[in-house]
Amino acid sequence: MARPKAFITRTLLPDAVDIVRQVADVEIWPDESPPPPDELRRRAADADGILTTIMDRVDADLMDAAPNLRAISQLAVGLDNVDVAEATRRGIPVGNTPGVLSKSTADLAFALLLGAARRTSESERWLRGGNWRLAFHPTHWLGQDVHEATLGIVGLGQIGLEVARRARGFDMRILYHSRTRKTDAESEYGVEYADFPALLSQADFIMLCVPLTSQTHHLISTAELAMMKPTAILINVSRGPVVDPQALYQSLHANRIAAAALDVTSPEPIPSDDPLLTLDNLTITPHIGSAALPTRLNTMKLAARNLAAALTGQRMETCANPEVYNGG
Ligand code: NAP
Ligand code: GLV
């Protein structure tokens, strides 16, 4: 019997590719940039399975162009680039990578929180600019305390919970808002449920950990920013479009909130002339939440195992639409 064909849309670490190679003939997109949509359709045309990243649009057009497709494995937990409902209609399992990257993403989220609170990027830029002429000044570079401050987590899922665990070590009061109330987490981590306006108005740090959906698009815009304290710091490690970038720019520029820290932007990459990049009170990283080597390797291996499983007629380990399997 012919071996199945797999198309992998970005270069992966070899240990992960080997997992797919054991069961399929593999083609890997060789460029640094993701395949443009027409190239993705062309390469997927005879594929039985594809391994994608958040940069690939996986929609009905792509599925139409790939009549043999029976597995979509995404190297990410977020699936906002994949039409999961359409894949489900076609009986195609969609894998993603929850859990394996939560701790690393929470580490980065906390690094952003600490960095924005204590102005580390801003003061380093200033220092490298040759401005440090006074050895110490008692009123310079005053930031905010993290310990004992109030953190508001929006979206208490796997990453949000890991952020809460880290915040406990800083003796923070932790509020959360999520689609559903998490009474287990309330007793285990001492987090307190708050409705959205209460969280926005009480938190010193607001951490966004929701997926991008039609409900969370521009979840933070002018009205929500106006509810925050003037000293509030907004941190986004979810997806760029969860925050309205123009509203954020206006709020930061007018110092209506103190600062923001973004690991994700809209669009990605953020253009180098984007007005947000002119602001001193913005800390920004290029979507590196889960980019720690051991975690990335484990994430790649999980995505590879999901693809290999589906191509050999087995159930994916982590499947976003388990209803495609008989009995769900
Ligand atoms: P998760 O476990 O599914 O958690 C998401 C949480 O958001 C869930 O608790 C969910 O509530 C809540 N939620 C969904 N819609 C909401 C809404 N409209 N209002 C309030 N809460 C809502 O996912 P995760 O693993 O924590 O990942 C979260 C997101 O982080 C991903 O989707 C991805 O976009 C992003 N991410 C970014 C990076 C990075 O590198 N920056 C890395 C990994 C992930 P329920 O529990 O009630 O469903
Ligand atoms: C990364 O952004 C992910 O969703 O895993």
Give the mean model confidence (pLDDT) for residues 195-218.
98
Is the pLDDT assigned to residue 3 strictly greater than 80?
yes
Question: For the chain, which domains are there?
Answer: 5-100+293-324 (3.40.50.720), 102-284 (3.40.50.720)
Is the pLDDT assigned to residue 61 strictly greater than 80?
yes
Confidence at 285, pLDDT banded by 50, 70, 90: very high
HSE (CB half, 13 Å, CA atoms) of 148? 1
pLDDT in the model for residue 30: 95
Is residue 296 part of the annotated active site? The answer reads no
Report CA(277)–ligand 2 centroid distance (Å): 23
Mean residue pLDDT across the chain: 97
Please indicate whether residue 216, judged by its CB atom, sits closer than 6 Å to ligand 1.
Answer: yes
pLDDT per residue as tens digits for the range 225-278: 999 999 999 999 999 999 999 999 999 999 999 999 999 999 999 999 999 999
Is the pLDDT assigned to residue 328 strictly greater than 60?
no
pLDDT in the model for residue 327: 57
- The protein residue with its alpha carbon nearest to ligand 2, atom 1, reads 76
Is the pLDDT assigned to residue 16 strictly greater than 90?
yes
Please indicate whether residue 76, judged by its CB atom, sits closer than 6 Å to ligand 2.
Answer: yes
Is residue 268 part of the annotated active site? The answer reads yes
Is the pLDDT assigned to residue 93 strictly greater than 70?
yes
Give the mean model confidence (pLDDT) for residues 56-69.
98
pLDDT per residue as tens digits for the range 121-173: 999 999 999 999 988 899 999 999 999 999 999 999 999 999 999 999 999 99
Is the pLDDT assigned to residue 112 strictly greater than 80?
yes
Sheet containing 192-193: give its strands across: 192-193, 173-177, 150-154, 205-208, 233-236, 259-262, 282-284
pLDDT in the model for residue 305: 99
Share of the chain above pLDDT 70, in %: 99
* Residue among 281, 253, 290 at smallest CA distance from 115: 281
pLDDT in the model for residue 323: 97
Helices (H), 55-131: 60-65, 84-89, 102-118, 120-128
Give the mean model confidence (pLDDT) for residues 44-59.
98
Please indicate whether residue 318, judged by its CB atom, sits closer than 6 Å to ligand 1.
Answer: no
